[in-house]
Structure formats: structure tokens, C-alpha cells
Structure 1
Amino acid sequence: MSTPATTALIIGIGVVILLSMSLRLVQQYQRGIVFRFGRVLDQARQPGLRVIIPIADRMVKVTMQTVVMPVPAQGAITRDNVTLTVDAVVYYRVVDPIRALVNVRDYPNAILQVAQTSLRSVIGRADLDVVLSDRERINAELKAVIDAPTEKPWGLLVERVEVKDVALPDSMKRSMSRQAEAERERRARVIAADGEFQASQRLADAARAMAATPGAYQLRLLQTVVDVAAEKNSTLVMPFPVELLRFFDKLTGTAAATAEPAPPVLHPDLERLAAH
């Protein structure tokens, strides 16, 4: 026969087991979805200590946090027929836990498959230059393509999609390197030509200014002499001033015009004939 103490112990154990089967703890970042005899209840259980009916109810906890899911590297061909290897990362979270459990099986794997196929599709519609230079456009298009089939039917919200890395073939890397080098050389030549053109314009302006003031040539010559003389190992050759030559030329021309003409010198025989 069982004693009252044994009966109380058995009852106590039964109560503990019943409580353990009835109580569920839902964390702040979770929502509890209760299935009663296999049918989901309309209301999700909020965070806290929740009570369910043993045997009849089954609770599944769904995380509402943002999940960072890496997308493995995918081989894709761009619109201009360049083969790339692209990987990405998807940020998503559950907004409707009931749909995430009921409408799709294993929603993390499902959204991963959608992300992989969408990545290849978006890369295939873009040129190589767009993929390399306009990442924001590619990311926005990826987000729209992945979010469309997952938000309403699956209860998932894609918050952000980022393309992490774009791997190019070695031949394409060499071609792009040569192209970049040629572009830099072209820019250097354009800049040098523009500098020479501006310098020639300034020299032409200076020549016109000096032509209006002849003394400016001598001042410039003296300045050049001072600059050259600063070098101790230089041999300085002074040119003869052109203005001085012009002065002597004018002076000799004036003297020749004012001088009297000399009498002609005759031959001695001609002088004797003239005397006779």
C-alpha cells in the first residue's frame, strides 16, 4: 500500500511534468507559433513565459532578428559576354512568422536559392562596366528581384543586398590594365599639349608687349644675364645689341648724305692730254 507521502510525491512529480510540458519561454527576439492538433493558431505568442496545452499544442519559435546570409560565389556571364565570378551577402528578416513556417519549408535555404538565381540573372542583364562601376544599381536591382517573391508569400523582408567581390579572368585583367595605362598616357599627353599651348599664348603676349617697348628687350637681356651669372661654371657670351647697330647705321647714313662729293681722279695720260 502506498503511503500518503508517496502519493504526494507522485502528485508533485506529475505537476512538475505537467508544468514543464505547459510552459514555454519566448525570448525578446522570438515569436512563438502554436500548432494545436496540427492547425496553426492565428495569434503568435509574444516574448515572455507562455502556457500551452500539453499534448494538444506544439510551439515553434521563430527568430525575428536580421539574418546575414552569404551567397556563395556564382559564375555569371554579362551582357557583353564576359565571364565573371560574383559573390554577395543578403540581409533579411522575418516579418510574418506564420507565413514563414506554413507557406515555405526551410525558408533560409529557400531564400538562398532565390538569391543565387537572382544574382546570375541580374549580372546577365548588365554590362561589365556597370558591374564594376555602378555597384549601387546592381545592389538595388538584386534587392528588388529577391524581395518580390519572398515578402508577401513567405513573410520575409530583404533589407539589403550587397555584391561583395567580382572576380575577373586573368586575360580580362591584363586587357583592363593595358586599357587603363593607355588612358593615363592619353591624359598625360593632353595635359602636356594644353600646357604648351598656354605657354605659347603667354609668350606671344609677352612678345607683343616687348615689341611695343624696345627697351624691354634690353631689360630682359640683362635679367637673363643675371640669371646665367648665378651659375659659377657657366661661360657667358654677350650678344652685340641690335639697337647699337641701328644707331651706327643711322649715324653713317647721315654723314654720307651731308659730305661733299670728291673730284674725280684722272689717269696721268689723260691729264697730259687735257693740258695740251
Structure 2
Amino acid sequence: MDLFVVFFIVVVLFVLAYKGVKIVRPYQKAVVERLGKYQRTVDSGLVVIIPFIESMRKVDLREQVVDVPPQDVITKDNTGVIVDGVIFYEVVDPFNAVYNVVNFYQAITKLAQTNLRNIIGDLELDQTLTSREMINTQLREVLDEATDKWGTRVVRVEIQRIEPPKDIVEAMSKQMKAERMKRAAILDAEGYKQSQIKKAEGDKQSAILNAEGKAEAIKKVADADKYQTIAIAQGEAQAILSVFKAIHEGDPTNDLLAVKYLEALQKVADGQATKIFLPLETSGVLGSIAGIGELFQDKDTTPKE
């Protein structure tokens, strides 16, 4: 009998401990009720409650994800698109999260679908496809404001898919292909234009360099001719001065000058000209020639012994 009592007491204590001692994880908070009335909110750790009188409901504070199912939405220009997304939220007030909403998942899903239809309904198809960030921002603001009384905070909203009808997709594909071909043609034309410009600039630079080279060569040749002419002139001048000096130092007579004059006339007469012009100042030379002739005559008339 005593053993049965001990066993009963142990079982009762175990049940009381199981019902009265709770563990709250670090990412959780708990709401404690006493006889169905809110009593307190407890943090993580070991929590002791009164068994069968108090109850505890745990609330997860980690960021959680809600998948918004795909739905058909009509844009402003009456084009049907299929849209879905995901919502990231976290609980910031366990009391409101427990007592202000029955099924948070269903509530935020329906709220997101309704506001998503409203936002996309105000946009045309092109704006819808190119304004995902704006749609995400507007939807997050609306959901965050609406779920504030539920003790939650919407962290971010991401639109996963915006799918237009197949005929619209095909038309957009053709338009994109035409735009790409147009850009390719423009790039080809720009490339050809740039290549022609570069080629013309290269030809221009080549012609300029060739002209500068020819000009420099002509200048060098002219400088060489000039130097040659100056050297020849200086040489002739030196020769003339030497001859003139030698003549004056030799003190030539008229007879010698007359002989040289005759030698010069012989060379002049060897040309192809039919007429020979003699200088006017030749009286002295001619007189010397006459004197030389008289000398030869005197030798011829000398009597032989």
C-alpha cells in the first residue's frame, strides 16, 4: 500500500512538473493566461506556471515567409497577367499577434492579393513589367500599415512572377528582336563610319608626312646645290685671284697677251657659230699682233750671207 502511494505521488509530481514548467526558446516569447484571461508576456528561458490554472501560448519571433498564390490581374490597359509573390514578416508584439488575428497566414495572404490587384490595376502592361521595385515598395507599405494592429512587421515583399498572355509575349519577343536588329544595324553603321573616318585621317596623316618628307628632301637638295654652287664660286674666285696675282707678279708684255689672245680666238673659232663678236677694247691687243707680224717680216727680209 505504501508503495502505491509513493508511486501515485511521483506520478502527480511528474504531471505537475510537466504542466507547470515550460521552456521558451531564445527566438520565442510566450503569452500566459490565467483562467482564460491574459496574465503576462514572458521572455525566453525557464518559465513556471500554475498547472491547470494557467496556460501558455508561444509566439515565434523569427522572420517568416508567406507565399502569395498566383492570381489573374487586369492592368490599366485591360491586359490580363498572372502575378504571384512572397511576403517576409516578423512578429514584434506577441499580445497583438495572439489576440488581434485568428489566422494570420490566411489574413495576410488575402490582404496581399487584394492590394496587389489594386496596385497593378493602376498600371499599364509596360509599367507593370518594368516597375517591380515600385510594386514591391507600395505593397510592403500597405501591408505593413494594415498588419500593424496584428503585432507584426512586414519586412519586404518580392514579386516572383508577372506573366502576360502568350500572344503578348510573342509580340514583345518580336519587338525586342526588331529593336536588337535595329541597334545592331546602327552599331554596324557607326562602326563603318568610324572606320572610314579613321582611314581618312590615316590617309591625311600619310599625305602630310609624305609632303613634309618631300619638302625636307627638296630643302636638303637645295641646301646641297647651294653649298656646291658656293664652293664652286669660291674655288673659281680663288683661281681667278691666283691667276690675276700670277699675271701681275709676272708682269706680262703686250706680246704675250697677244699670243694668249690668239689662242683664245682659236678656241672660239672651233665652235659651230658663223659669226664671232670681238670686244671693242682690242686696239692694244691688235697693235701687239701687228708688232709681232713686223718682227716676223724683218726676219724674212734679213740678207743671207
Q: Does the alignment reach a TM-score above 0.5?
A: yes
Cα displacement (A) at 1:176:
0.3
Cα displacement (A) at 1:15:
2.1
Match of 2:31 in 1: 33
Match of 2:111 in 1: 114
Question: What is the alpha-carbon root mean square deviation over aligned residues?
Answer: 2.5
Match of 2:22 in 1: 24
CA distance in 1: counterparts of 2:37 and 2:123, whole angstroms: 46
CA distance in 2: counterparts of 1:149 and 1:47, whole angstroms: 28
Count of residues paired in the alignment: 212
Q: How does 1:179-258 map to 2 (within 5 A)?
A: 179-199=175-195, 201=197
Q: How does 1:40-189 map to 2 (within 5 A)?
A: 40-41=38-39, 43-151=40-148, 153-189=149-185
Q: Percent of pairs identical after alignment?
A: 36
CA distance in 2: counterparts of 1:165 and 1:191, whole angstroms: 33
Cα displacement (A) at 1:206:
6.8
Residue type at the aligned position of 2:163: A
Larger gyration radius, structure 1 or structure 2: 2
Cα displacement (A) at 1:78:
1.7
Cα displacement (A) at 1:203:
6.2
**Which one has a larger percent helix, Structure 1 or Structure 2?**
2
* SS of 1:148 mapped into structure 2: helix
Judged with a 3 Å threshold, the aligned counterparts in structure 2 of structure 1 residues 213 and 111 are, in CA distance, closer, same or farther, namely closer
CA distance in 2: counterparts of 1:67 and 1:210, whole angstroms: 72
Cα displacement (A) at 1:103:
0.8
Cα displacement (A) at 1:71:
0.9
Unaligned runs of 5+ in 2: 213-305
**TM-score for the superposition, normalised by structure 2:** 0.62
* SS of 1:53 mapped into structure 2: coil
Judged with a 3 Å threshold, the aligned counterparts in structure 2 of structure 1 residues 59 and 200 are, in CA distance, closer, same or farther, namely same
Deviation by residue 1:31-68 (Cα, 9 ceiling, x = unmatched): 11111121112x31112221111222111111111111
* SS of 1:88 mapped into structure 2: strand
Cα displacement (A) at 1:24:
1.7
Cα displacement (A) at 1:177:
1.1
CA distance in 2: counterparts of 1:118 and 1:196, whole angstroms: 52
Residue type at the aligned position of 2:154: V
Unaligned runs of 5+ in 1: 217-276
Cα displacement (A) at 1:104:
0.9
Judged with a 3 Å threshold, the aligned counterparts in structure 2 of structure 1 residues 206 and 74 are, in CA distance, closer, same or farther, namely same
Deviation by residue 1:175-212 (Cα, 9 ceiling, x = unmatched): 10111122122223323333444455556667777888
